[in-house]
A and B are shown apart, each in its own frame.
Chain A
């Protein structure tokens, strides 16, 4: 109870500067469990696109500014059952669209390491809540890197599970075939304790699977003979700070007995196009339900049904959301579907086959950067919005293929900013990924200058 109380105080105090929370449950300490449950007393911050019963869930959008769900997401119910307490709902890029933490109706979130810099997105508030020491763990969502990228910018661990490992029931959909609820935490061990509660087959989500994340390093597991695949060409797009992190990671892994293997990263030229076509298409459909009629913001100016729908959406959605809906609608339009959506789908199947082969025949873990740079300054976003999308270069492959991926801090750049590296394993091999990540983390505990 005490630690929840101090978490509430810290969250409220720091929110003035960091704006990591949209809603803080000031009564959360009352919900503490008495029994000996696995996560008893753990305060967890939850990204505001995951439905929490009785607690406002806004997706950082004016469209859902006052929306209160009457149901908990599967993952939330599982956490509550394990004794965890939802401390509050974290700020994010609206509906998951964005990677800066600046696309929110409730104002931008800032990076606690350097408040003039972005925390990343779209799980900005969740990453900040962990990095600022408010909570040991937070739930985020990852559609194209939205858990791993802010984790890297803020210096925390960020896991995107295998697609289907965590039920999407109650997660407000952005891109249904890419979305996964992910975990941000201060260590792999903490990630594990949360994962073992929320990973589960859920009959209410037809895309869910039964995948075991494990919960601790198994007896006799070591990095000996684990093959770590690295693609120099793929990595070369990142800047020197990041590459220093990769080098350090390779060194640590080699010293622990792993084998570093040169591999070819599949289809690197097509990744971003495939991701943006498919995710925008699905988003344009998933967001159609926001019409101002059943729930959410309804426009006050209308003279027909068409106008209710048109103006509610015009007023309720931010610019980036509108941009993605327009893009998604376009690629699904008759006459363009074959050229864009259908081709992206075919490309995606090929990418899956190639990554499957890579992570079976050539290596067990694929190591790469998470981001191109360390956390950029606020306001340095390009005028050409599409250039922002290039930052997803290293993260989208895991969403397109469904493979699990984790971002782990390896140290700090020369100007004191966190640097993260990404590890990816084969589909369903979350336990292997977490074991390697955990051992890796233990090998160099402390980080330090790269």
Chain B
């Protein structure tokens, strides 16, 4: 391969605050168009922005999670351009003094640890949405105007589409752990622009890059980057030149078209936002926010392996799903045994989640009832199979573990005295089977086990039954010698 791809990413993340960035409108996805706006976010005359403190703190939190420098005195800027989805004719963003700079983020690609440098993270507001009707009209929905955004800008540290995608997937998990966004690409709360250039292998000069917009999924990002790398290589192989430009990706057609060239690149006429004074962030603020950085994916994975002895794959699966991992942590804190909890979570619980489409928090499963089920199972009160049934029951019906056991009738008989009586009774009734066993027919044991189990209504503790039955069989033969 003559050429090396050089890729940088600009990730826009909608923050999960209660209200919008500069006004009190509720920050929520969807709804009837133009029902979640007010004079401020529609840019009516005389209105002023009021900065959302929570949004700034979420941005600082994200910066801390990637070891970035947090600016003690940061400023918002106006990015000026005309477009129907931008009511004020400018976007309040940041330019010269972003909130966070010089971070780095570790992620895995192809089982290798990689590190991407985060050039900056800055805060800004989202614009509205243009909706094109089939009849050719364009309508504007201002609900999304003013939703708080952070923009995470990386250095061009990726060299393949797959690597960029691996970064994006890990970044998404980070953001979910931090709780700053719900990261739903299909709802637009996580969006990505890519910057692609190619250069001769071995060179470290940066060549003109092409920016690509309108990327709506991670797989779309991968496709778009692959396409662009190929397009640029083809041009260069034919002796052509790459010029800096912005292109629009069309995922359905698997192709891109030019939006702007360098010549008609927009000049945003950035200047400091006069309506918002300097935002001062003290070291006390930073340390207070730092307390909210939770244990992140890799630290969790390591701890699961070292502290609980979980298998690598188990630890990896668990730690890659923040909701699952946090539920796991809560259960283990509630004295549930790690391995059994992990297995049940990654098995039956995930099945329930996938089948129902509901998350654990929306289901009937709680830390209480789940840990109770696990402890019943470990204490032999219910069998492992019954535990799975109980989990599914609780997932769909809520309630206590006690109630589930009763409803499902899965309480095991684990009293040896009762089982002995039961076994004695069956052995009395089945002399032929005993004779078969004596004669060496192994499946006689299975038959007897089945009979005992049936007699117990399926409730006999299988392990105890087997133990007692075997003992009695041994002794029986001995007795009748």
Contacts and interface: CB of A to CB of B under 8 A. Distances in A.
Interface of A: 50-51, 57, 59, 64, 67, 69-71, 73, 168-173, 175-177, 203-207, 281-282, 284-285, 287-291, 293-295, 305-306, 309, 329, 332-334, 337, 341
Contacts of B84: 291, 293, 305
Nearest to A57: B45
B446 interface: no
Given A288-B82, A288-B90, A289-B89, A207 B275 contact: yes
B50 A332 contact: no
Given A289-B88, A294-B87, A329-B269, A171 B50 contact: no
A337 B48 contact: no
A370 B198 CA distance: 63
Nearest to B78: A285
A284 B270 CA distance: 12
11 contacts: A51-B46, A59-B45, A176-B274, A203-B50, A206-B51, A206-B277, A207-B275, A284-B80, A290-B89, A294-B43, A332-B271
A285 B90 contact: yes
Nearest to A203: B50
A203 B80 CA distance: 26
Given A337-B269, A337-B271, A170 B50 contact: no
Contacts of A295: 44-45
A298 B227 CA distance: 42
Interface string B31-47: 00000000100111111
B276 interface: yes
Contacts of A305: 84, 138
B89 A291 contact: yes
A169 B138 CA distance: 32
B47 A169 contact: yes
A289 B275 contact: no
Chain B interface SS verdict (over half): loop
B287 interface: no
**What are the nearest 3 A-B pairs in CB distance?**
A288-B89, A332-B269, A176-B274
Contact of A206 (B45, B269, B270, B275): B275
B49 interface: yes
A322 to B, nearest CB: 15
B69 to A, nearest CB: 24
A274 to B, nearest CB: 14
A70 B39 contact: yes
Contacts of B82: 288, 291, 306, 309
B236 interface: no
Given A206-B49, A282-B274, A288-B82, 6 more contacts: A71-B46, A173-B45, A176-B275, A284-B269, A285-B271, A293-B84
A306 B271 CA distance: 24
B87 A177 contact: no
B267 interface: yes
B48 A169 contact: yes
B235 interface: no
B267 A333 contact: yes
B293 interface: no
Interface string B90-102: 1000000000000
Nearest to A169: B48
A276 B197 CA distance: 43
Nearest to A177: B274
Interface in B62-86: 78, 80, 82, 84
Contacts of A291: 82, 84, 89
A171 B47 CA distance: 8
Contacts of A290: 89
Contacts of B43: 289, 294
B274 to A, nearest CB: 4
A332 B269 CA distance: 5
Interface size class of B (residues with CB under 8 A): 20 to 34
Contacts of A294: 42-44, 87
Nearest to A330: B269
Given A282-B274, A305-B84, A71 B45 contact: no
Contacts of A341: 271
Given A177-B274, A341-B271, A169 B88 contact: no
Nearest to B138: A305
Interface string B269-306: 11100111100000000000000000000000000000
A363 to B, nearest CB: 29
Contacts of B90: 285, 288
Nearest to B266: A334
A64 B45 contact: yes
A190 B449 CA distance: 103
A344 B47 CA distance: 26
A172 B269 contact: no
A288 B88 CA distance: 6
B275 to A, nearest CB: 5
Nearest to A341: B271
Contacts of A71: 39, 44, 46
A287 B42 CA distance: 14
Given A204-B50, A288-B80, A289-B88, A67 B45 contact: yes
A55 to B, nearest CB: 13
Nearest to B81: A288
Contacts of B87: 289, 294
A175 B51 CA distance: 20
Given A289-B89, A291-B82, A173 B39 contact: no
B140 interface: yes
Contacts of A171: 46
B277 A207 contact: yes
Contacts of A170: 46-47
Contacts of A73: 46
Contacts of B270: 332, 337
A69 B48 contact: no
Given A309-B82, A334-B267, A337-B269, A285 B89 contact: yes
A172 B45 contact: yes
A333 B271 CA distance: 10
Nearest to A70: B39
A51 B45 CA distance: 8
Nearest to B89: A288
Contact of B80 (A50, A59, A175, A285): A285
Interface in B85-132: 87-90
Contacts of B140: 293
A337 B269 CA distance: 8
B46 A69 contact: yes
B45 A69 contact: yes
A281 to B, nearest CB: 6
Contacts of A203: 50
A171 B275 CA distance: 12
Contacts of A204: 48, 50
Contacts of A284: 80, 269
A96 to B, nearest CB: 12
Contact of A332 (B46, B80, B89, B275): B80
A325 to B, nearest CB: 11
A362 B66 CA distance: 52
Contacts of B44: 69, 71, 289, 294-295
A291 B42 CA distance: 12
A370 to B, nearest CB: 25
A338 B4 CA distance: 37
Contact of B276 (A64, A168, A206, A282): A206
A329 B267 CA distance: 10
Nearest to A332: B269
Contacts of A51: 45-46
B335 to A, nearest CB: 47
B274 A333 contact: no
A142 to B, nearest CB: 16
B10 to A, nearest CB: 20
A172 B274 contact: no
B50 A289 contact: no
A51 B40 CA distance: 13
A305 B140 CA distance: 12
A341 B271 CA distance: 9
